């Protein structure tokens, strides 16, 4: 007797298809972005003039990265972005944890805290190599300026499958997609679990690409 199994036989055996360990990724659009873009770019330029030495990250190539305390700056437009980020991350957390909280009857209130906030401006050819973020539960990227041409992959962010590199056959291919490319669109925010390996393709163009990123954690509200 062979080990083959027909779809008809499978339907008789299974009553429910369950989804364990889903990966929640949120995409949001800031309708107010056009009002703050110019001021944000001016802020980045002034910041770099005052602190010309970029933070030295081993994953960074041909770009300028600020210090990680940007979220503490009182700049009004920066605070608008970080408020937008916090609200968006909390909404993803609510969706991701809804079943977990309900099943366990947890009656607690939570809030978002920003642990790190920074900006990056990419020169021609600049990119970020694959990496993850520690000491947080959510990470994100907010596109201030795309600086791109019509090529959607130019300067795009990519997220790598959390399943890793498994032996590939038809069964594995049904749920394992190695990379998800995200086109850099101005005013768009992308949120993902911080354990996801991610990076960016080289930015090619005369106009700089500019982003704001943050690492966030969820804690119990007092």
Domain range list for the chain: 19-163+176-220
Distance from C-alpha of 217 to C-alpha of 113, rounded to nearest angstrom: 5
Q: Which has more confidence, 215 or 21?
A: 215
What DSSP element (H or E) covers 158? strand 157-160
Output the pLDDT for position 11. 55
Mean of the per-residue pLDDT values for the chain? Answer: 87
User: Which residues partner with 200 through β-bridges?
Assistant: 157
Neighbours of 180 (CB within 10 A): 17
Q: Model's pTM, two decimal places? A: 0.85
Distance from C-alpha of 126 to C-alpha of 140, rounded to nearest angstrom: 19
List, in order, residues 6 or more apart from 89 with CB less than 8 Å away: 26, 112, 138, 140, 191, 216
State what percent of residues in the chain have pLDDT above 70.
81
Mean pLDDT of 69-88: 98
Q: Quick: pLDDT tens for 142-185.
A: 999 998 665 667 899 999 888 765 566 666 666 666 789 999 99
Q: Quick: pLDDT tens for 17-66.
A: 777 788 899 999 999 999 999 999 999 999 999 999 887 666 788 899 99
Output the pLDDT for position 100. 74
Q: Rounded to 5 degrees, what angle do the CA atoms 200, 154, 44 make? A: 65
Note whether 197 and 131 are within 8 A (CB).
yes
Q: Which has more confidence, 205 or 192?
A: 192
Does residue 214 carry a pLDDT above 80? yes
In this structure, CATH architecture of domain 19-163+176-220: Sandwich (2.60)
Output the pLDDT for position 220. 87
CA distances from 216 to 22, 62, 92, 160, 219 (A): 19, 26, 12, 20, 10
Residue 189: pLDDT band (50, 70, 90) is very high
């Amino acid at each position: 007797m062979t080990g083959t199994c027909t779809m008809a036989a499978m339907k008789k055996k299974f009553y429910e298809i369950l989804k364990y360990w889903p990966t929640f990724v949120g995409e949001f659009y800031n309708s107010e972005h056009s009002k703050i873009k110019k001021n944000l770019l001016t802020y980045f330029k002034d910041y770099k003039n005052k602190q010309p030495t970029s933070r030295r990250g081993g994953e960074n190539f041909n770009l300028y990265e600020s210090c990680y305390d940007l979220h503490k700056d009182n700049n009004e437009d920066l605070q608008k972005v970080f408020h937008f980020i916090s609200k968006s991350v909390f909404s993803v957390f609510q969706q991701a944890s809804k079943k977990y909280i309900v099943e366990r009857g947890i009656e607690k209130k939570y809030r978002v805290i920003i642990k790190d906030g920074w900006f990056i401006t990419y020169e021609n050819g600049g990119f970020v190599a694959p990496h993850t973020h520690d000491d947080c539960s959510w990470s994100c990227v907010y596109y201030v300026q795309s600086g791109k041409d019509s090529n959607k992959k130019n300067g795009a962010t990519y997220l790598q499958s959390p399943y890793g590199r498994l032996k590939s056959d038809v069964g594995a291919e049904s749920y394992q997609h190695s990379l998800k490319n995200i086109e850099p669109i101005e005013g768009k925010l992308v949120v993902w679990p911080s354990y996801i390996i991610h990076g960016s393709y080289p930015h090619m163009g005369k106009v700089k690409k500019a982003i704001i990123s943050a690492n966030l954690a969820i804690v119990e509200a007092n």
